[in-house]
Chain A
Amino acid sequence: MVGGGLAVVTLRNVIHSAVAMMVCFGSLAGMYALLGAPIIAAAQVLIYLGAISVLILFAIMLTQAGDASLPAPFHRQVWLAVVAAVAVFGLIVWGAVQTDWHGATRATVLGLTAIAQAIFTTYALPFEVLAFLLLAAIIGSIFLARRPEEDERAS
């Protein structure tokens, strides 16, 4: 999974990066299953492997009109980015290792029934807000991506 993530950010070809991203997300789904959350693993496969990856691949293929010359993938400030990323990584790992988690142990496997009940009772309002957000995202992306100037194309 980490190899997939590394490939995402280092590969020169954008399509290769997107496929590496799919590998990374797929192994992440396996990790969710390992954590006893099969419903989240299923959602990961559905949403990320199924929807977002295809969306990103479509976007890449729409925008890259088969140009053979691939530009340099990185900015000039790549070393600054390396420093920032390593600093973030070090900070998080230091926090995770230093903290005493009070002997946290594994709970039981997350059941589908329990999650569904929680979503539709305790979290009913966030669920509805989320549905509205998705609707707004659909309308907004259609508005943004539609081809402008209908009359210009007709002439």
Chain B
Amino acid sequence: MPSLSAYLVVSALLFSLGAFGFLARRNAILMLISIELMLNAVNLSLVAFNAYQPGGSLNGAVFALMVMAVAAAEATVGLALVIAIIRTRQTPEVDEYSDLKE
């Protein structure tokens, strides 16, 4: 059985992959996918902490379920925003959204 630290390392790896994707990718939808990756990493660490704590409380699991619901809401609104932006600007590349700079 893997230890708690192993799960935390996997979660950290997933989180930093998501952070890298958010910072480095140019596609707006891929930035949203990267946010989902980070949320999932946090969920994994929550469930791992919940599974490894003594006493059998359910806080971590319930919190993970709530994070999932909030992530679903965030994905919905985020994708709607991205689609609205793409419809007006005709490109998913975030570099092109520079109206405020000019």
Chain A residues within CB distance 8 Å of chain B: 1-2, 5-6, 8-9, 14, 17-18, 21, 24-25, 28, 31-32, 35-37, 39-40, 43-44, 47-48, 51-52, 55-56, 59-60, 62-64, 71-75, 77-78, 80-82, 84-86, 88-89, 92-93, 96-97, 101, 104-108, 110, 114-115, 118-119, 122-123, 126, 130, 133-134, 136-138, 140-142, 144-145
Contacts and interface: CB of A to CB of B under 8 A. Distances in A.
A37 B50 contact: yes
Specify the main secondary structure of chain A where it touches its partner. Answer: helix
A77 B13 contact: no
Contacts of A134: 69, 72-73
Question: Which 5 pairs, one residue from A and one from B, show the smallest C-beta to C-beta distance?
Answer: A9-B21, A81-B23, A85-B20, A137-B73, A141-B80
30 contacts: A8-B21, A14-B27, A24-B37, A39-B61, A40-B47, A47-B68, A52-B75, A63-B29, A71-B26, A75-B24, A77-B23, A80-B23, A82-B24, A84-B19, A84-B23, A85-B17, A88-B15, A93-B8, A96-B8, A105-B52, A106-B51, A107-B50, A107-B52, A107-B54, A115-B62, A119-B62, A137-B76, A138-B76, A140-B77, A141-B76
Among B43, B70, B77, the most chain A Cβ lie within 10 Å of the Cβ of B77
Contacts of B8: 92-93, 96
A37 to B, nearest CB: 5
A52 B72 contact: yes
Given A59-B29, A64-B92, A71-B26, A9 B34 contact: yes
A9 B83 contact: no
Nearest to A6: B17
Contacts of A133: 69-70, 73
A130 B64 contact: no
A56 B29 CA distance: 8
Interface in B15-69: 15-21, 23-27, 29-30, 32-34, 36-37, 40, 43-44, 47-48, 50-56, 58, 61-62, 64-66, 68-69
